[in-house]
């Protein structure tokens, strides 16, 4: 088969067409990220060898919600960030403890806690969308044959609502107040469809991305909740994307074996990262048997292994992944399961990324 450009190769992955070699995407590695200077060689490697995906953000085109923000002292290690969202039916409050010494922060108080809070949130109208979208087409032109421009839609309806409540309260509502969750998810669906319609009407696309399904997936929730809260609402969004001749990338961590078929039903064209044991529960070969010809696998080299394993071990992992999931010459993008997360890159990490890239590009 003739050699493909990165733009063509990624397009074939979305369309389930034959490839010259597996796709190659180094998640979280761009011209400016990770920022620490030690990652400069990895950034250069990604730009030189990777099949590039550039995100175009449309947030500035949406009329912002009325939000009041403030900060309070909390401790030597944290400060409290307070967010008040003003809705037509009343105010909602959320707080977050932000680390002051480089440590991760944590939610303290979620925005929605009661049925009354949910009713306030449901009073929000459709977002107003408008403005100049020329930046999308300018970026697409700059990218050229080096890759594609992907439009992140953010959290899917289920993940968005789960994040409003937090895992504990959402789980209780999934038992006691399911109709309230359905109303909120339908609202989020309507909002995303409205935004999507505005983007599609201006020719933005054809590559869109969505995440958040992992908030309502095993082991936190069973397969039926996944279908009721993810598939049911995501499908309407995916259908509109596909009707426009466009495509959908979905990101979802976790043990996916019992719900892999559901990603076909919700309309995913590419699924990342499909993790093998022990962090996941399905091998690449097993996933290929279920998804063959319908969903492209993007994954599934564990990001932790990029920091701890030897370059020889990474070569073996990537080789086995390709042998297991690329026997039909289609539907595979080799990619780490997450973005680099250690503040400074080690020589081992760099060698491992070099090994991964070398195996794929010489396949």
Domain boundaries, the chain: 6-63+127-361, 64-111
**What pLDDT score does 123 carry?**
98
**Residue 270 backbone dihedrals phi, psi, to 5 degrees:** -130, 140
- Geometric angle at alpha carbon 271, from 179 and 228, rounded to 5°: 15
The pLDDT, as a whole number, for residue 164 is 98
- Check residue 153 and give its pLDDT: 97
The residue-averaged pLDDT of 161-171 equals: 98
Residue that has been written with the tokens 């080799």 in this structure: 334
200 band by pLDDT with thresholds 50, 70 and 90: very high
In angstroms, the CA 150 to CA 22 distance is 19
The fold for domain 6-63+127-361 equals TIM Barrel (3.20.20)
pLDDT beyond 90 at 97: yes
Q: How confident is the model at residue 34 (pLDDT cuts 50, 70, 90)?
A: very high
**Digit-coded pLDDT (tens) for 138-159:** 999 999 999 999 999 999 999 9
Task: State the pLDDT at residue 102.
Answer: 85
Share of the chain above pLDDT 90, in %: 97
Per the CB < 8 A criterion, the answer to whether 280 and 327 are in contact is no
């Amino acid at each position: 088969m003739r050699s493909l450009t990165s733009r063509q190769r990624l397009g074939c992955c979305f369309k389930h067409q034959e490839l010259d070699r597996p796709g190659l995407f180094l998640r979280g590695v761009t011209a400016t990220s990770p920022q620490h200077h030690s990652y400069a060689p990895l950034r250069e490697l990604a730009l030189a060898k990777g099949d590039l995906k550039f995100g175009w953000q449309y947030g500035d085109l949406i009329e912002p919600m009325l939000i009041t923000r403030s900060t309070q002292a909390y401790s030597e290690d944290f400060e409290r960030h307070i967010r008040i969202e003003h809705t037509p039916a009343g105010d909602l409050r959320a707080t977050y403890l932000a680390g002051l010494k480089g440590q991760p922060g944590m939610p303290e108080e979620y925005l929605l806690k009661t049925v009354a809070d949910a009713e306030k949130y449901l009073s929000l109208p459709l977002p107003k969308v408008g403005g100049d979208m020329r930046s999308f087409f300018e970026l697409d032109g700059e990218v050229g044959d080096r890759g594609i421009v992907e439009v992140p839609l953010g959290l899917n309806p289920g993940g968005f609502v789960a994040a409003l409540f937090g895992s504990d309260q959402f789980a209780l509502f999934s038992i006691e107040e399911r109709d309230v969750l359905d109303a909120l998810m339908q609202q989020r669906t309507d909002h995303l469809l409205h935004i999507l319609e505005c983007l599609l009407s201006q020719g933005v696309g054809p590559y869109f991305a969505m995440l958040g399904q992992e908030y309502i997936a095993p082991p936190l929730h069973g397969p039926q909740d996944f279908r009721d809260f993810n598939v049911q609402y995501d499908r309407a969004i995916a259908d509109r994307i596909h009707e426009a001749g466009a495509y959908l990338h979905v990101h979802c961590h976790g043990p996916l074996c019992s719900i892999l078929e559901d990603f076909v039903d919700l309309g995913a064209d590419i699924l990342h990262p499909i993790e093998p044991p022990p962090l996941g529960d399905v091998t690449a070969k097993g996933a290929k048997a279920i998804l063959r010809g319908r969903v492209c696998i993007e994954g599934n080299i564990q990001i932790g292994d990029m920091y701890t394993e030897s370059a020889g071990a990474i070569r073996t992992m990537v080789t086995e992944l390709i042998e297991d999931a690329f026997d039909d010459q289609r539907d595979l993008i080799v990619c780490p399961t997450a973005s680099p997360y250690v503040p400074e890159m080690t020589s081992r990490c760099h060698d491992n990324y070099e090994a991964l890239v070398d195996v794929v590009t010489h396949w």
